[in-house]
Amino acid sequence: MYPKQEVVAMLLAGGQGSRLGVLTQKLAKPAVPFGGKYRIIDFPLSNCVNSGIEAVGVLTQYQPLVLNEYIGSGQPWDLDSMNSGVRILSPYQQIKGTDWYKGTANAIYQNINYIDRYNPNYVVILSGDHIYKMDYSKMIAFHKENNADCTIAVIDVPLAEASRFGIMNTNPDGSIYEFEEKPAHPKSTNASMGIYVFSWNKLRKYLIEDEDTDGSEHDFGKDVLPKMLEDGQRMFAYQFQGYWKDVGTIDSLWESNMDLLDPNVPLDLSDESWKIYSRNPVVPPQYIAEGASVQNSMIADGCDISGSVDFSVLFSNVVVKPGAVVQDSIIMPGSVIEEGAVVQYAIVSENTVIGKNAVIGARPEDIEDKDQWGIAVIGDNLKIGAGAKVAPKEMIAKDIEGVE
């Protein structure tokens, strides 16, 4: 018998994140490293724990090895209790057949048994590709106050960007009367954050109905939420104030890392009252050598810095050799920047070696045709030869020979 949990969280972590290209070739998007020591999934997982949620199901499908290994027993997030904690939920064989998760709603549908055993009142649906700190318990309280069936977290976005999001149009009391998916002419700036609170009895019924609906894509945004609205269920928008970023693209991933270096951005990772937990590597402290220069950067344990590092985020065990320059870049664990190499506006994935005097990316002001400019991305476990050049916006998935 499982003790009742008032709230169960379901974290959708099965997406491929194809827009991140080489970064998600071997791992699911939620496992992409972020912020010098974290992985993206640390944010929703830590938010759950800090919000008092004790049962978290993580739905995995695409390249789950790294993600599964990273979550492990859930101990770093205190999610390793006897009868609750984090559970990895992958698609499985059933009596009537075998299916992958066909859509976000179908993924939850296939795990109704997992949710049922906790007999929860509410289920929180989260996605694994957002960077933010949020107290879900406040959103659940809002859901209860309004006696809602479904509450959708929204954030105010600039009008110019509103057409990139799902927009919730609300009555003055916060109830939703209309959804618009990526509207050309948005009526409001309330963008859905992809965070939903449902009353479980309602959601359960709609999931079963949706499963039997022909032509449904089994997606929350496209099928379940519109159906609930059509049926006149009580749906509310919960206004979230604070930092929130979808890091589904190279640009947004880069920007969000850089935001950590900006003291004016409200995302404080040193706040003890809302800590973001992660699994920590066993490595010695970082060493900054004589002659090195480090400015406005974040650097993790195990790094060995002899070159110059400016406006950059360096993960554990990164080596920057003498005379190397790293600017406005993200260097993931274990990568080495050899002597004289210059890395600018780039993301270098794990355990890659950037050879001597190689040039990766460029500053936007040094590029005449601005359309040609963008963040350069180097995949993991690669060797970029001495003197090689990688243009801005390029994405490298193979070794590059050196040039003499």
SS3 135: coil
270: contact with other proteins by CB under 8 A: yes
372: contact with other proteins by CB under 8 A: no
Among 1, 160, 184, 282, binds other proteins (CB under 8 A): 282
280: contact with other proteins by CB under 8 A: yes
Structure tokens at 151: 């509450």
SS3 33: strand
Q: Which of positions 47-86 make contact with other proteins (CB under 8 A)?
A: 75-76
278: contact with other proteins by CB under 8 A: yes
292: contact with other proteins by CB under 8 A: yes
Among 285, 365, 371, 398, binds other proteins (CB under 8 A): 285
Query: Nearest Cα to 316, choosing from 281, 348, 344, 292?
Result: 281
Gap between the Cα atoms of 394 and 182, Å rounded:
28
- CB-based contacts of 234: which residues, under 8 Å, 6+ apart? 146, 147, 148, 149, 150, 175
The answer to whether the beta carbons of residues 14 and 59 sit under 8 Å apart is yes
Question: Which of 181, 271 has the CB closer to other proteins?
Answer: 271
Query: Nearest Cα to 203, choosing from 298, 337, 135, 105?
Result: 105
381: contact with other proteins by CB under 8 A: no
Question: Which of 37, 218 has the CB closer to other proteins?
Answer: 37
Gap between the Cα atoms of 68 and 10, Å rounded:
15
Least CB distance to other proteins at residue 331 (A):
12
Gap between the Cα atoms of 185 and 376, Å rounded:
33
313: contact with other proteins by CB under 8 A: yes
Least CB distance to other proteins at residue 52 (A):
19
Q: Taking contact as CB under 8 A, which single stretch among the options 101-109, 247-255, 274-282, 338-346 is the one that binds other proteins?
A: 274-282
**Integer Rg of the chain from CA:** 22
Binding track over 240-269 against other proteins, x by CB under 8 A = ---------------------x-------x
How many CB atoms are closer than 10 A to CB 66?
Answer: 15
295: contact with other proteins by CB under 8 A: yes
User: By the criterion CB under 8 A, which residues form the site for other proteins?
Assistant: 35-37, 75-76, 261, 269-270, 275-278, 280, 282-301, 304, 309, 313-315
